[in-house]
């Protein structure tokens, strides 16, 4: 800047001196003003050239300037470069932030002052059935047509959340969403959605469990109380007294079985998986299960002989590494269930077999009435019954399948149910090869 001023002063001095030498004071005035005008015209031309260069918006374009103007162009170019670097950095950080929000398991929507969608992540779109691009600018209340949500948006207090139904791809399982609004940036709002389906199901299962346990215990207790009152208040013959005592014993045995199954489930859920140090010999275990099944089958028709066709298949020398008590409980529950729910004259096949990769499969297959498809996903839930009256008549507690599923999972395996209505059912457990041991033949 100083050099530019010195140049202008020198240029004016020379022009003024030359004018004074040619025409005195008048020449001095003309020379000085002419030099000043020339400097102004020169700067105007260069400024106009710089303005047209700036209007093009591309700092990489070449421009022919020198001196102070060339230095100014260099400074502008450095400013552009710094701005582009900061813009790229901010854009990168914004993309990282948006990627983090996209990866969030919770849904995020940004709403403007009128409640229109400015941005949403994929989770929110899936939760509420929105399209990430097509629905931008749409009012959220017009897209989420839930009375509870509409009332929630209309109020001014957003300290509490609201539970609504989300967009589910399965008719058998409804999606439950926890939704909450958070005002920000003046009148804008941040809408968060969270999938609470599992929590809602757990709460419902807990309520059902308490209700079912209360009901299952109350029923035999009511019967027992009635029989006790009868024995206390009425003069009965020894035969009648024995009849009532037998009925009371049945109800007491039913409660005892229920409490025993509940304790078994509690122990399974609260203890570590069984170790692989104990090898369970399936031959004597299955012999006991078979004897129990034959006896139970005979009781179904109050006769001395079983009323079902029972077949048992077991590979020689097969052992399962785990808990003998748990394996026996799971196998016994599946076999006795098949006996209880298969009509008289039905066929029941109990099979242990080895898989191609060394895993062990246990299955109980019957040709009974079968189970409708809508019941299959919930059969292993506690106390879930397809036909409650029939289950009570058969003497089941509604916990056998839940116990078998827990035991299979605790041994690293899985539990499966296959059934066709009118054709029969197949209940199976699979154990991984790490839990399977084949004993060597005795020499």
Segment 299-341, tens digit of pLDDT:
776 666 788 899 999 988 899 999 998 999 999 999 998 998 8
Least confident of 81-90, 109-118, 352-361, 386-395: 386-395
CA distance 411 to 276: 9
Average pLDDT over residues 75-87: 82
Are the C-beta atoms of 4 and 68 separated by less than 8 Å? yes
pLDDT at 9: 55
Q: How far is CA 281 from the centre of its chain?
A: 39
Question: In this structure, how many other beta carbons lie within 10 angstroms of the beta carbon of residue 339?
Answer: 25
* Per-residue pLDDT at 330: 92
- Is the pLDDT at 171 greater than 60? The verdict is no
**Sign of the dihedral through C-alpha 120, 123, 128, 130:** positive
Q: How much of the chain, in percent, has pLDDT values that exceed 70?
A: 81
| Residue burial 276-304, b: 16+ Cβ < 10 Å; e: rest | eeeebebeebbeebbeebeebbbebeeee
Per the prediction, the chain carries an average pLDDT of 81
| Helix, strand or coil, per DSSP, at residue 359 | coil
Residue with tokens 């004074």: 20
Mean pLDDT highest for which of 56-60, 255-259, 431-435, 439-443? 431-435
Rounded to an integer, the average pLDDT of 408-419 is: 92
pLDDT at 443 (0 to 100): 47
User: Where in 44-156 does DSSP place strands (E)?
Assistant: 107-111, 117-120
pLDDT of 285: 93
Q: How far is CA 133 from CA 111, 117, 121, in A?
A: 14, 10, 10
Residue 83 or residue 350, greater confidence: 350
Listed residue (331, 346, 353) closest to 400, CA to CA: 331
């Amino acid at each position: 800047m100083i050099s530019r001023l010195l140049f202008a002063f020198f240029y004016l001095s020379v022009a003024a001196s030359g004018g004074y030498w040619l025409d005195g004071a008048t020449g001095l005035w003309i020379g000085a003003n002419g030099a000043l005008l020339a400097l102004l015209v020169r700067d105007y031309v260069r400024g106009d050239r710089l303005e047209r260069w700036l209007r093009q918006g591309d700092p990489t374009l070449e421009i022919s300037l020198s001196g102070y103007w060339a230095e100014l162009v260099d400074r502008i170019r450095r400013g552009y470069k710094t701005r582009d670097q900061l813009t790229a950095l901010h854009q990168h950080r914004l993309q990282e932030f948006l990627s983090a929000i996209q990866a969030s398991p919770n849904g995020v929507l940004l709403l403007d002052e009128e409640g229109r969608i400015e941005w949403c992540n994929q989770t929110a779109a899936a939760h509420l059935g929105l399209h990430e691009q097509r629905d931008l600018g749409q009012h959220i209340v017009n897209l989420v047509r839930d009375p509870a949500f509409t009332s929630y948006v209309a109020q001014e207090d957003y300290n509490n959340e609201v539970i609504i139904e989300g967009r589910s791809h399965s008719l058998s399982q409804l999606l439950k969403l926890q939704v909450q609004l958070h005002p920000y940036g003046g009148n804008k709002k941040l809408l968060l959605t969270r999938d609470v389906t599992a929590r809602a199901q757990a709460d419902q299962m807990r309520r059902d469990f308490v209700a079912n346990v209360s009901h299952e215990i109350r029923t035999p207790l009511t019967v027992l109380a009635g029989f006790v009152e009868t024995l206390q208040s009425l003069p009965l013959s020894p035969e009648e007294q024995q009849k009532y005592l037998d009925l009371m014993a049945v109800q007491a045995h039913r409660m005892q079985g229920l409490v025993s199954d509940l304790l078994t489930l509690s122990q399974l859920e609260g203890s570590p998986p069984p170790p692989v140090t104990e090898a369970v010999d399936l031959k004597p275990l299955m012999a006991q299960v078979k004897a129990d099944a034959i006896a139970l089958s005979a009781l179904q028709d109050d006769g001395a002989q079983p009323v079902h066709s029972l077949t048992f298949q077991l590979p020689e020398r097969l052992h399962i590494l785990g808990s003998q008590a748990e394996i026996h409980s799971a196998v016994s529950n599946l076999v006795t269930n098949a006996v209880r729910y298969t009509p008289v004259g039905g066929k029941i096949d109990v099979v242990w077999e080895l898989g191609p990769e060394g895993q062990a499969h246990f299955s109980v297959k019957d040709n009974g009435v079968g189970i409708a498809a809508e019941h299959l996903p919930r059969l292993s839930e506690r106390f879930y019954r397809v036909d409650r009256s029939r289950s009570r008549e058969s003497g089941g507690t509604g916990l056998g399948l839940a116990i078998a599923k827990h035991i299979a999972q605790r041994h690293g395996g899985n539990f499966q149910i296959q059934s066709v209505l009118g054709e029969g059912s197949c209940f199976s457990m699979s154990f991984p090869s790490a839990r399977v041991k084949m004993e060597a033949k005795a020499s």
